[in-house]
Amino acid sequence: MKQDIHPDYHTITVKMTDGSEFKTRSTWGKDGDTLHLDIDPKSHPAWTGGQQQLLDRGGRLSRFNKKFSGLIKDDKLATGNVPAAAKPKKDVKKAEEKKAKDAEKAKAKEAKKEKHAAKQAKEEKPAEPQADAKPEEAKTEA
Q: Are 10 and 34 in contact (CB under 8 A)?
A: no
Q: What percent of the chain is modeled with pLDDT above 90? A: 25
Instruction: State the pLDDT at residue 87.
Output: 52
The DSSP element (H or E) to which 79 belongs, if any, is: helix 76-79
Lowest-confidence segment of 25-29, 39-43, 70-74, 119-123 by average pLDDT: 70-74
pLDDT of residue 107: 92
pLDDT of residue 29: 93
pLDDT at 50: 65
**Can you tell me the distance from the alpha carbon of 65 to that of 74, in angstroms, rounded to the nearest whole number?**
13
Query: What pLDDT, on a 0 to 100 scale, did the predictor assign at position 95?
Result: 80
So what's the pLDDT on residue 22? 94
**pLDDT tens sequence across 37-93:** 888 887 777 777 766 565 666 677 778 888 888 776 654 444 555 555 555 555 777
Is the pLDDT score of 118 beyond 80?
yes
Average pLDDT, rounded, for the chain: 76
The pLDDT value recorded for residue 115 is 87
